[in-house]
């Protein structure tokens, strides 16, 4: 028995040892992997950042665009500082009718739920290159058009103005001039929005009024420009350019809006208060001089703008179709009614049309005379099928100088005057009326062979109703002016623009 017991115990001990050895060879169980989870709170494309309760969406697009009779991203030649227009050299050697732009954009959207609602931060920017001569790109740039934080009704950063209602970016490739919408570039602002129920919201916003770049300068940039012209100084209105005598940025523009968003579409009314305060009095010369403080200055001035508009969905029962309209009126606030900028369009022979814009003008010893402007525009989009759509859009805008401003511009009277004050005419004009207007109409057809791919063509016709219609003597300008110095017929002008675009979108 002792022998049998020893054998059994020995065998058991051996089995235990073998089992321990085999267990040591087995792989250790790995820790659970934390996989990325879809966040369904805010729509498609969001996912939870691992280890947090924050949802993230990354979007992008890449665009190739070719433009005929346009530049700077779809601005018709002459309606803004495009190509050689600023120097008045629109000819075979200085002007390229064909241009291009390539743009790659990136957006980052972060959202987190808090006890006060959604905390959101958003960024959109990218890289672009453009050119107009078929050679290597010469205008590479980094751009940022959005960068803001939203929390408990507050929005702060680079935003779209709360004055804006309809944006033509969804219906046109062209940079339309009859709308002042800031969607493309954005601007600085801080706003509070109150949700009143049933889709109704009210917003009060403090926004960049256009002087934050370079206060007393002709080189302002931005979606909205503060434009105050000192008519006592020479050459403030030039060929395709304007110089300003602004007070530097002192107060933001105050914007308010009331809006309703429902399944049928949306409607909005807006108002804005715009600072139009000027710099110092100065006479003669073409540039601001030092030591102007002793000259005095006009009293501070403020302009205003109001707007109303709507967009309707599923028009006449057609799914996806949209119809929209907007009207805007401003006094001393032209940047709220249309895209301001000097207009200079040339026709055949010695034929040209002009238009200069300003929020206000003044002469030495006088106040700022506010300029009146207004615009109306509309849009219609029809879906022929889920992959084909066509839009029709258009608008009209007008600039009017009051009697006092006109008298300052035309000191010799309305007809047969010498050169208007500050304007680039070497001799007299037969009609000294600085008022002008313009209209445009266009249509874009787009094919979407895939939901993420846009391919389309846009045609737009712009017509300028010129200021100073009649005849004028114009000095030779630049190394290759359009024509020799002499008599010019100043008359209405037209520009046809054609744009082609192909764009790949990812989670826009």
The pLDDT of residue 172 is above 70: yes
Report in angstroms the alpha-carbon separations of 161 from 155, 158, 183, 189, 497: 11, 9, 8, 8, 28
- Of residues 98, 84, 101, the one with CA closest to residue 134: 98
Q: Can you list the alpha helix ranges (DSSP code H) found in 293-353?
A: none
Quick one: average pLDDT of 163-175? 95
Neighbours of 268 (CB within 10 A): 22
pLDDT value, residue 9: 43
Question: Of the ranges 224-233, 265-274, 491-500, which one carries the lowest mean pLDDT score?
Answer: 224-233
285-302 b/e (C-beta count within 10 Å ≥ 16 → b): eeebeeeeeeeebbeebb
8-state DSSP, 94? T
Q: Using pLDDT thresholds of 50, 70 and 90, give the confidence band for residue 412.
A: low
CA distances from 5 to 11, 15, 19 (A): 10, 16, 21
Residue 507 is predicted with a pLDDT of 84
Compute the mean pLDDT over every residue in the chain, rounded to the nearest whole number: 84
State the pLDDT at residue 89. 60
d(C-alpha 473, C-alpha 387), whole Å: 54
pLDDT tens digits for range 140-165: 889 899 999 999 999 999 999 999 99
Mean pLDDT value across residues 393-402: 97
pLDDT the model gives residue 219 = 41
Cα-atom radius of gyration of the chain, to the nearest Å?
31
If one compares 23 and 106, the residue with the highest pLDDT of the two is: 106
Ranking 70-84, 247-261, 360-374 by mean pLDDT, the lowest is 70-84
The helix/strand/coil state of 507 is: coil
CA distance 202 to 194: 5
Q: How many CB atoms lie within 10 A of CB 470?
A: 17
Instruction: With CA atoms as reference, report the closest residue to 281 among 299, 300, 295.
Output: 295
CA 253 to chain centre: 17
pLDDT of residue 214: 40
Residue length of the chain: 508
| Rounded mean pLDDT, 191-206 | 97
- pLDDT band at 80, cuts 50/70/90? confident
Residue 293 CA to residue 161 CA, distance in Å, equals: 34
pLDDT greater than 60 at residue 485 = no
pLDDT reading at 27 higher than 60? no
pLDDT in tens, 282-316: 877 666 666 677 788 999 999 999 999 999 999 98
Q: By C-alpha distance, which of 228, 274, 271 is closest to 369?
A: 228
Q: Is the pLDDT of residue 478 over 70?
A: no
Strand ranges, E, within 19-89:
47-48, 54-68, 70-71, 75-76
The larger pLDDT score, comparing residue 407 to residue 393, is at 393
Global model pTM greater than 0.85: yes
> Contact at 8 Å (CB) between 415 and 396?
no
223 vs 393, residue with greater confidence: 393
pLDDT at 221 over 50: no
Determine the Cα angle at 209 with ends 206 and 214, to 5°. Answer: 130
pLDDT band at 216 (very low <50, low <70, confident <90, very high): very low
Question: pLDDT by residue (tens digit) across 446-471?
Answer: 999 999 999 999 999 999 999 989 88
pLDDT at 133 over 50: no
Q: Phi/psi of residue 188, each to 5°?
A: -75, 140
Each residue of 318-368: pLDDT tens digit?
Answer: 999 999 999 999 999 999 999 988 888 888 777 888 898 899 999 989 999
Per-residue pLDDT at 29 exceeds 90: no
Stated as kind and residue range, the H or E segment containing 313 is strand 302-313
Distance of alpha carbon 197 from the chain centroid: 30
pLDDT, tens only, 83-124 = 555 555 666 676 778 889 999 999 999 999 999 999 999 999
b/e string for 153-188 if b means 16 or more Cβ within 10 A? eebbbbbbbbbbbbbbeebbbbbbbbbbbbbbbbbb
Mean pLDDT of 225-235: 84
Q: Which of 61-65, 69-73, 98-102, 129-133 has the lowest mean pLDDT?
A: 129-133
């Amino acid at each position: 028995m002792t022998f049998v017991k020893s054998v059994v115990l020995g065998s058991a001990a051996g089995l235990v040892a073998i089992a321990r050895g085999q267990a040591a060879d087995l792989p250790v169980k790995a820790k659970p992997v934390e996989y990325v989870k879809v966040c369904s709170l805010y729509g498609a494309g969001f996912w939870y950042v691992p280890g947090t309760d924050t949802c993230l969406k990354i979007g992008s697009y890449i665009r190739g665009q070719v433009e005929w009779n346009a530049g700077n991203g779809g601005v018709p030649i002459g309606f803004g500082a495009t190509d050689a227009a600023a120097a008045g050299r629109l000819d075979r050697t200085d002007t390229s009718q064909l241009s291009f732009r390539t743009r790659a954009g990136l957006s980052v959207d972060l959202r987190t739920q808090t006890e006060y609602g959604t905390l959101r931060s958003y960024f959109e920017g990218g890289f672009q290159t453009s050119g107009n001569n078929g050679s290597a790109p010469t205008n590479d740039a980094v751009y940022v058009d959005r960068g803001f934080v939203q929390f408990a009704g507050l929005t702060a950063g680079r935003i779209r103005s709360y004055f804006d209602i309809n944006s033509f970016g969804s219906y046109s490739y062209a940079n339309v001039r009859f709308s002042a919408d800031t969607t493309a570039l954005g601007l600085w602002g801080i706003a509070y929005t109150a949700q009143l129920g049933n889709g109704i919201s009210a917003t009060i916003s403090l926004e960049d009024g256009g002087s934050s770049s370079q206060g007393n300068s002709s080189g302002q940039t931005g979606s909205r420009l503060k434009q105050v012209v000192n008519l006592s100084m020479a050459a403030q209105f030039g060929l395709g350019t304007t110089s300003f005598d602004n007070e530097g940025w002192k107060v933001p523009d105050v914007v308010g809006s009331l809006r309703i968003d429902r399944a049928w579409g949306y409607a909005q009314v807006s108002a804005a208060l715009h600072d139009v305060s000027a710099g110092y009095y100065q006479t003669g010369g073409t540039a601001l001089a030092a030591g102007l403080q002793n000259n005095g200055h006009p009293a501070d001035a403020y302009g205003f703008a109001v707007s109303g508009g709507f967009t309707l969905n599923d028009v006449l029962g057609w799914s996806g179709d949209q119809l929209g309209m907007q009207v805007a009126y401003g006094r001393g606030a032209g940047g709220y009614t249309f895209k301001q900028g000097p207009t200079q369009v040339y026709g055949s022979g010695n034929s040209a049309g002009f238009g200069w814009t300003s929020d206000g003008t003044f002469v030495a010893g006088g106040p700022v005379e506010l300029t009146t402007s207004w615009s109306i525009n509309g849009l219609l989009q029809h879906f022929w099928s889920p992959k084909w759509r066509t839009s029709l859009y258009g608008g009209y805008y007008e600039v009017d100088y009051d009697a006092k401003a006109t008298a300052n511009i035309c000191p010799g009277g309305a007809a047969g005057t010498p050169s208007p004050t500050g304007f680039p005419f070497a001799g007299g004009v037969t009609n000294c009326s600085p008022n002008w207007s313009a209209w445009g109409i266009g249509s874009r057809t787009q094919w979407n062979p895939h939901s993420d791919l846009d391919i389309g063509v846009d045609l737009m016709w712009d017509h300028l109703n010129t200021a100073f219609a009649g005849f004028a003597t114009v000095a030779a300008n630049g190394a290759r002016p359009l024509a020799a110095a002499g008599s010019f017929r100043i008359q209405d002008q037209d520009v046809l623009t054609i744009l082609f675009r192909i764009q790949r979108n990812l989670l826009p």
